[in-house]
Amino acid sequence: MDNNLFIYNTLSRKKEIFTPLLENRVGMYVCGPTVYGDPHLGHARPAITFDVLFRYLTHRGYKVRYVRNITDVGHLVNDADAGEDKIAKKAKLENLEPMEVVQYYLNRYHKAMEALNVLPPSIEPHASGHIIEQIQLVKDILDKGFAYESAGSVYFDVPKYNKQHNYGVLSGRNIEDMLNTTRELEGQDEKHNPVDFALWKKASPEHIMRWSSPWSDGFPGWHLECTAMSKKYLGAEFDIHGGGMDLIFPHHECEIAQSVASTGHEGVRYWMHNNMITVNGQKMGKSLGNFINLAQFFDGKHELLTQSYTPMTIRFFILQAHYRSTVDFSNEALQAAEKGLSRLLEAYNRIDSLPPTGVAGTDPQSPADIQSLFAKSEEAMNDDLNTPIVISYLFEAARIINSAAAGQMPLTAGDIQKLKDLFNLYLFDILGIKNEQKAENASYEAFEKAIDLLLNLRMQAKQNKDWATSDKIRNELTALGFEIKDTKDGFEWKMA
């Protein structure tokens, strides 16, 4: 396999040649959803970004073990070490079992991911199913002297760790900055230092989700699960760890600290982060009213949306930006993406009806162009997954197809096949776009044939003077909203 894939490593802050630990296998861990709410755009972007990476690595011949976790122990948001256990809170409000809430939102997440054509990961471990591993990790960090127990909770000793290692190696922050920005919050009296973070929290009496441990009945700190589960499924050292940029600090910084503190070395070779999504130029936030769930995009039912958008429009729109750039959602931008995608699909769906008019070798320009689109698309993918550039080459291919259809560019049968292969590989297999247009057309065609079949049976019934059957077919189709007209050649029908 050619070693020419470059990816940007957040840790080294530069593009590096991707060389996996083992020759043909890749271990990849991506922080998955926290399942206490409906999946939204913030879930879609990392899922799609790392789905494309997963697909591309697989295409390059690697056997990829892709682990994406489910955070279901109700982690403490923005590392406040305070706040409420969101899952437990919701469970009480709705009088449901916590795991019922988890399952409800997880099902909705899976449904949305399937609609977005995001492939399922190889392993999808739940934090709640790995409490034993997390407790062991806390013990290891305590044994190495980088954590302390305080009132039944266990905290990571950041200043002590920072004396020997670099806390801030990923985010570029330093302890002084963190001390200045850390707010005084509940639990601070238990900590030796405000920058310390919880590895284990003692549960308050009303806390539903709790597990017994050597320190208290409680629950693990949020950062713990990813360190414990990545190690369990990928080993103490593995290739790629991904997630959204918002996770760099504190989540991933804390993961590195936990890893180094427990094993003596950093386990991740390439840290990859996708940039964030804004809506009409603003950060998404529940209080800003611009928090649009994926289901609302798909059915258009949100006051900021002027129409619904198909999952493929959302996917295509996200991939039209490089994953390290921001993406701003607006109706205008989504409509442009919708048009662009249908232009590509229309061109693709025309390929089969193109007449091979050219003779191989007689047109020196077109075959070379098509071949170079393959090479250039691969080059773009190898340049840190530059999907917008790949898409620009697909538009170039669409222009060739349209010129050929208009009789302005002779193509050989071989050229036509190459164009088809280019779309199949890059648009469908690697970018993961589904040809919805074709699927819609195909199902409509089948539907038309089924109605024709019924009306032919009705004609036969009439010829056999089986009026009961003939009337039944007519009446029931009319009741379903069909307009049926008998003509001298047979029949015509349309939907009313």
The footprint of Zn ion (CB under 5 A) covers 31, 226
- What span, in angstroms and rounded, lies between the C-alpha atoms of 461 and 36? 57
What's the min distance (Å) between Cβ of 402 and Zn ion? 45
Closest approach, Cβ 319 to Zn ion, in A, equals: 23
Give whichever of 20 and 243 is closer to Zn ion, judged by the CB atom. Answer: 243
Query: Which positions ≥6 away from 115 have C-beta within 8 Å?
Result: 294, 298, 311
Least CB distance to Zn ion at residue 16 (A) = 22
Q: Write the DSSP assignment of 252-321 as a string of letters.
A: IHHHHHHHHHHHSS--EEEEEEE--EEETTEE--GGGT---BHHHHHHT-STT-SS---HHHHHHHHHTS
Report the nearest approach of Zn ion to the CB of residue 251 (Å).
Answer: 5
- Tokens representing 18 are 């991707």
Q: What is the CA radius of gyration of the chain?
A: 28
Closest approach of Zn ion to the CB of residue 30, in Å: 8
- Closer CB to Zn ion, 147 or 226, in the complex: 226
Pick 226 or 354: Cβ nearer Zn ion: 226
Query: Which tokens in the block code for residue 239?
Result: 């290739």
Report the alpha-carbon distance of residue 96 to residue 89 in Å, rounded: 10
Report the nearest approach of Zn ion to the CB of residue 29 (Å).
Answer: 8
Whose Cβ is closer to Zn ion: residue 31's or residue 473's? 31
Q: How far is the CB of 51 from Zn ion (least distance, A)?
A: 17
Q: Measured between alpha carbons, how far is 398 from 59 in angstroms, rounded to an integer?
A: 23
> Which are the contacts of 112, defined by CB distance < 8 A and separation ≥ 6?
39, 43, 44, 294, 295, 311
Given the structure tokens 């003077």, which residue do they identify?
465
DSSP structural state of residue 79: G
CB 449, min distance to Zn ion, A? 50
Residue 95 to residue 296: CA distance in whole angstroms = 26
3-state secondary structure 305-330: CCCCCCHHHHHHHHHCCCCCCCEEEC
| Separation between Cα atoms, residue 494 and residue 477, nearest integer Å | 10
* Chain length of the chain: 496
Q: Which is nearer to Zn ion, 113 or 226 (CB)?
A: 226
Pairing of strands 327-329, 277-279: parallel
Nearest to 188 by CA among 176, 197, 180, 199: 197
For Zn ion, the closer CB: 31 or 404: 31
Whichever of 31 and 138 has its CB closer to Zn ion, that residue is: 31
Cβ(260)–Cβ(290) below 8 Å: no
For Zn ion, which is the closer residue by CB, 29 or 316?
A: 29
Which residue, 230 or 470, is less far from Zn ion as judged by CB? 230
Distance from C-alpha of 407 to C-alpha of 419, rounded to nearest angstrom: 16
Q: How far is the CB of 14 from Zn ion (least distance, A)?
A: 23
